[in-house]
Amino acid sequence: MSAIVKIEASSDAEKARAALEPPLGFGTTLADLMVRMEHGAERGWRQPIVTATAPLELSPAAKALHYGVEVFEGMKAYGWADGRVALFRPELNARRLNASARRIRMPEIAEETQLAAIEALVGELRAWVPRGRGSALYLRPAIIGTEAALRVSSGSEHLYFVIASPVGPYFSGGFKAIPIMVEESQVRAAVGGVGEAKTGGNYAAGLDGQERAREMGFEQVLWLDAREHRYLEELNGMNVFVVDRGSLLTPPLDGTILPGIVRRSILELAPDLGLTASEHPLAIEDVMRGIESGRVTEILAVGTGAIITPVGSLGYRGRTVTVGDGEPGPVAKLFYDAVAAIQHGESPDPRGWMRVVG
Ligand SMILES: *Cc1c(COP(=O)(O)O)cnc(C)c1O
């Protein structure tokens, strides 16, 4: 299958060694190879090429720069102790990239082509994959609209690329609970909008809330629904679970919430860990009351970046409540360990989630 990918450059092992010297940041160093594949109206998608990482040449009129004609993915290649490298459920990322692309009228890419390109890239970048819990080679596939024309449309020319970055733990403090601010007035996504697509505009919509949260001493912002400003949705790049009387609850996907792969994996894995996890609307007042009464013992933020991040406190309407004792709780630890062990090849993988790169 990977014969369809052209390999045009090779990686510099010396550079990789230097890049993996600790401490690893998050997404600051790019590996020296990337994938590029061009699309045009006449010929559709061309051949994916593994080539040297370099700046893109774009017309200042490119659609991506004006109308947010962009979709992306975030996934990781994990280095196993036995030297192998494996991807976590990459077919779900490929499928989701296409779902995002469809929503904003960008051209889809066959899942097999995406997977072949990503596997070829990771195969060439073996030396860039860090080892050890919490570390991985982060992969960022994206499609952008490159047509130079100012009419509002997705356009007829696009570029698919995949860049890679060796990363350490997402939060420099390691596995610790973070304070989160519940946003009361702005919204990230509305019913009928593009909230469920991984497209740049959603993140632009969240930046002001994110910064205000930071200015007030919180680490992240938690969005509520656009209609009633009442139901929990998600963070800027992570889904949310509440542990209520020992059960995990997460808001149902209604088109405004990004369908996270870690979210889905937790829903699927919970029974194996002797827990129940289900989708249920979560009203903020009820969650606040639950925290205060001790019914809600933990809140988890989940996503590929940090896998599981415990929430230590929640700020809402000028009041901040501590979740549990403010420290990472047992459910967060249980799931982090279970998911990390599968990702690093340390435990059996009965569902075949890991895809070892040939
Ligand atoms: C990517 C993302 C997530 C998490 O998705 P994963 O597939 O679990 O990494 C959650 N919310 C938003 C808004 C995202 O962009």
User: For position 2, what pLDDT does the model report?
Assistant: 44
| Mean pLDDT, residues 306-321 | 96
Q: Examine the pLDDT at 320 and tell me if it is beyond 80.
A: yes
Residue with token string 């230097």: 18
How far apart, in Å, are the Cα atoms of 135 and each of 26, 132, 341? 10, 6, 12
Ligand 1 pocket test: which of 304, 307, 308, 343 has the largest number of ligand atoms within 8 Å of its C-beta?
Answer: 304
Q: Which domains does the chain have, with CATH numbers?
A: 6-167 (3.30.470.10), 178-343 (3.20.10.10)
How far apart, in Å, are the Cα atoms of 162 and each of 89, 122, 191? 17, 10, 30
User: For position 118, what pLDDT does the model report?
Assistant: 98
User: For position 119, what pLDDT does the model report?
Assistant: 98
Q: How many CB atoms lie within 10 A of CB 173?
A: 9
Distance 60 CA to ligand 1 centre (A): 29
Across the chain, the runs of DSSP E, i.e. the strands, are 6-7, 33-40, 44-45, 49-52, 70-72, 75-79, 85-88, 136-145, 158-167, 178-182, 220-222, 239-244, 247-250, 277-279, 296-303, 307-316, 319-322, 354-356
Check if 77 has its Cβ closer than 6 Å to any atom of ligand 1: no
- pLDDT tens, residue by residue, 265-284: 999 999 999 999 999 999 99
**What's the mean per-residue pLDDT of the chain?**
96
User: What is the distance between the alpha carbons of residues 78 and 59, in angstroms, rounded to a whole number?
Assistant: 36
pLDDT band at 1 (very low <50, low <70, confident <90, very high): very low
Phi–psi pair at 126, nearest 5 degrees: -45, -45
Distance 303 CA to ligand 1 centre (A): 5
Check if 261 has its Cβ closer than 6 Å to any atom of ligand 1: yes
Distance 75 CA to ligand 1 centre (A): 10
Burial level of 207, CB count in 10 A (0-12/13-18/19+)?
exposed
Ligand 1 pocket test: which of 258, 302, 336, 339 has the largest number of ligand atoms within 8 Å of its C-beta?
Answer: 258
Distance 9 CA to ligand 1 centre (A): 31
* 229 token code pair: 């400003």
Ligand 1 pocket test: which of 100, 170, 239, 309 has the largest number of ligand atoms within 8 Å of its C-beta?
Answer: 239
* 282 token code pair: 């979560």
Distance 350 CA to ligand 1 centre (A): 24
Share of the chain above pLDDT 70, in %: 98
* 253 token code pair: 């996907």
Q: Among 56, 75, 55, 258, which Cα is nearest to 157's? A: 56
How many helices (H) and strands (E) are present in the chain, helices listed first?
8, 18
Taking CA atoms only, the protein residue closest to ligand 1 atom 10 is 238
Check if 262 has its Cβ closer than 6 Å to any atom of ligand 1: yes
